[in-house]
Structure 1
Amino acid sequence: MATVPALEKPPAALAETPAEQPKKGFRKYWHLYAAISPFYLLFLAFGLIPVGFSFYVSLHRWDGLGSMEWAGLSQYQYLLSDSDFWSSVGNTILIWALATFPMIFLAMVTAVMLNSAVRFKNVYRLAYFLPNVTSVVAIAIVFGSVFSTNFGLVNALLQAVGLDQVAWLNTPWGIKIAIATLMTWQWTGYNAIIFLAGLQTVPSELYEAARMDGAGPVQTFFRVTLPLMRPVLLFVLVISTVTGLQSFSEPQVLLQNTANESTFSGGPGHAGRTMVLYFFQQTFDNNDFGYGAAVAWGVFLVVILFSIINWRLVRRRGED
């Protein structure tokens, strides 16, 4: 009867206990963590800590100088019933809608034209991107002259075709259209460059196959280009939602000389008072830092809500 050979003794390297194995933790990679630590330290100092402190302030009544008085959730309870806040939310949403959808359409058309251009592509890209890097204050001052009632370029064009003048910066809808036009002009070129980058990733073989199947330019755009551009469109829509719902400099500079009230009033009838403008009014005009912090958190929730809605709508259409 054959005997089973005895198992050989394992090598010493395999017999080591876990405690004897080299340690692979923070001490081994500390220099890598130290290299990336400045970003996280700055983010902690100028990001997380201020955000946490703003929530702490929103639970108190504070004028910015004296001692804080505990208020609990009463600031948020008042925010839910504050008609001025909800009016600013409505103004912001209307301005965002008037600016975002025409801007996305114009940016897509511009990107398609740039993608098909043969000569001077870089010159066109620079020209369309220039408004985004121009100072918002300078843009608002120029648009204030363009939409001026008596000497504005827009009213001059209306009179040239036989129409009456419009007091753009003194009527509710005129104010919203002026702010939306400014934002559209500012962001169209920026988003056109993003759309152009997405268009250049579409394989040319797909366009050739579409032409061989008899598809025209319009059918090719809606059947080939647009479905493949959906992730880029989603990105542009979310970014436009975040920036559009936080508009501040545009109405503040454009309307600062059209009302006898504070700088953050939003023009006659508060028609241009956005959410962020209302936050600045409560904080720096009324010196109510506690309620201003609560308004800031309300703005944050509105922006998050609309971003999620836009993301879900675009994704659902893509799945369909």
Structure 2
Amino acid sequence: MENVQKRQHASKVKKSTTQMSEKKKDMLSGYLYIAPFFIIFGIIGLYPAVFSIVLAFQDWNGLGEMDFVGLNNFVVVLQDPLFWKSLYNTVIIGLMGTAPQLIVGIILAYFLNMAVIRFTNFFRVTIFMPYITSMVAVALVFGVFFSSSETALANYVIGLFGVDPVSWKTSEWGAKIAISLMVFWRWVGYNTIIYLAGLQSIPKDLYEAATIDGAGKVQQFLHITIPMLKPFIILTVFMSTVGALQLFAEPAVFLGSSAFNRDEAMTVVMYLYRDAFNLGSFGTASATAVLLLIIIVGAAALNTWLTSGVGRKQKRRAFTK
């Protein structure tokens, strides 16, 4: 009897050991499948980020030995008037190019979602086209449109309203307006598609019930559409905030080689690029990157907190009624 029990116990131990080894093999195979992502992320994403933070406390020209300087790089950047000018330009261009596109994106998505609109697929593709258009092509088109010549198309249009020609690439506000319109034109379709996907997820029964209760289109838009789009609004505001504070390609390509020698439209990313690759000061450039990271986190958190209140008043009114 004891031999039988020992055999049963041994078989159970062997079976459990086999099951454990099979689980370990499954776990190992799973880790191997996801390992390429983490390896690539570590090499391309994590290592440069950590190295940039370490470099922010060093004096390095990219070739010689590093010299630890503590917080001196941050002091140099914060005492540089050009840094504050670039931050001012980034915020102004970001507000002028980002805030309107979010509002217009919601309105365009609302109309594209209406059943009475014909050829909706054509309009959806057309609105999304600027996002997939090459940045070089966009810069060429806007460079011709906003040329400093008096016969440029933009100067011709504003001339119809009695406005004097503007030197778009050299004036303070001319460059900001032109770049903001470029950012608006390129990204409004992207946000429109996101809002359109959100609108299509809203149950039509809500609109039908609101119509039966006598609510008009404006009331339905304010009390149903906007509150139901809240997650999508938070997403687009967060992404737009991060993108606006990292603005680089549009002003750099639009202004050309002189973009890093003038301060009319220099952004923070252009400022750190100039420090690193034009002046060879990788320490101050990394310090600027760390400061920009702090600003982005703070601005994104603030905007997310503000937009998280969208629709609360309408919901409270609905419950009180």
- TM-score, normalisation: structure 2: 0.88
For residues 50-79 of structure 1, the C-alpha deviation after alignment (integer angstroms, 9 at most, x for no partner) is 111111222211111111111122112322
114-123 vs 153-162, greater mean Cα deviation = 114-123
Shift of 1:28: 4.1
**Cα distance in structure 2, aligned partners of 1:235 and 1:215:** 28
**Cα distance in structure 1, aligned partners of 2:89 and 2:162:** 31
**Cα distance in structure 2, aligned partners of 1:132 and 1:147:** 20
Shift of 1:318: 4.3
User: In structure 2, the residue corresponding to 1:256 is in which secondary structure?
Assistant: helix
For residues 100-128 of structure 1, the C-alpha deviation after alignment (integer angstroms, 9 at most, x for no partner) is 11111111111112111543222211111
**Cα distance in structure 1, aligned partners of 2:161 and 2:90:** 32
1:66 to 64, 67, 73: 64
1:231 aligns to 2:231 (yes or no): yes
Name the residue aligned to 2:79.
81
Partner letter of residue 146 of structure 2?
A: F
Name the residue aligned to 2:46.
48
**Cα distance in structure 2, aligned partners of 1:163 and 1:81:** 39
Name the residue aligned to 2:32.
34
Seen in structure 2, the aligned counterparts of structure 1 residues 205 and 143 have a Cα distance that, compared at 3 Å, is same
Partner letter of residue 235 of structure 1?
A: L
Name the residue aligned to 1:3.
none
**Cα distance in structure 2, aligned partners of 1:248 and 1:312:** 26
2:260 to 241, 264, 270: 264
Name the residue aligned to 2:146.
147
Name the residue aligned to 2:317.
none
For residues 250-271 of structure 1, the C-alpha deviation after alignment (integer angstroms, 9 at most, x for no partner) is 11111126x5xxx423x4xx12
Name the residue aligned to 2:118.
119
**Cα distance in structure 2, aligned partners of 1:284 and 1:56:** 18
For residues 199-241 of structure 1, the C-alpha deviation after alignment (integer angstroms, 9 at most, x for no partner) is 0011101001111111111111001111100110110111111
**Cα distance in structure 1, aligned partners of 2:220 and 2:233:** 17
Unaligned 5+ residue runs, structure 1? 1-8
**Cα distance in structure 2, aligned partners of 1:226 and 1:198:** 10
**Cα distance in structure 1, aligned partners of 2:138 and 2:60:** 35
For residues 145-173 of structure 1, the C-alpha deviation after alignment (integer angstroms, 9 at most, x for no partner) is 11123232111012223332122222211
Name the residue aligned to 1:181.
181
Partner letter of residue 85 of structure 1?
A: F
Shift of 1:317: 4.0
Shift of 1:247: 0.7
User: In structure 1, the residue corresponding to 2:260 is in which secondary structure?
Assistant: coil
User: What CA RMSD, in Å, does the superposition of the two structures yield over aligned residues?
Assistant: 2.4
Name the residue aligned to 1:313.
306
Instruction: Please say if residues 241 and 303 of structure 1, whose CA atoms lie closer than 8 Å, have aligned partners that are also in contact.
Output: yes
1:94 aligns to 2:92 (yes or no): yes
Name the residue aligned to 1:277.
270
Instruction: Please say if residues 169 and 255 of structure 1, whose CA atoms lie closer than 8 Å, have aligned partners that are also in contact.
Output: yes
Instruction: Please say if residues 145 and 151 of structure 1, whose CA atoms lie closer than 8 Å, have aligned partners that are also in contact.
Output: no
Within 5 Å, which residues of 2 pair with 1:124-135? Answer: 124-135=123-134
Aligned length: 304
Name the residue aligned to 1:249.
249
Partner letter of residue 76 of structure 1?
A: F
User: In structure 1, the residue corresponding to 2:94 is in which secondary structure?
Assistant: helix
**Cα distance in structure 1, aligned partners of 2:206 and 2:26:** 50
Partner letter of residue 179 of structure 2?
A: I
Instruction: Please say if residues 95 and 177 of structure 1, whose CA atoms lie closer than 8 Å, have aligned partners that are also in contact.
Output: yes
Partner letter of residue 145 of structure 2?
A: V
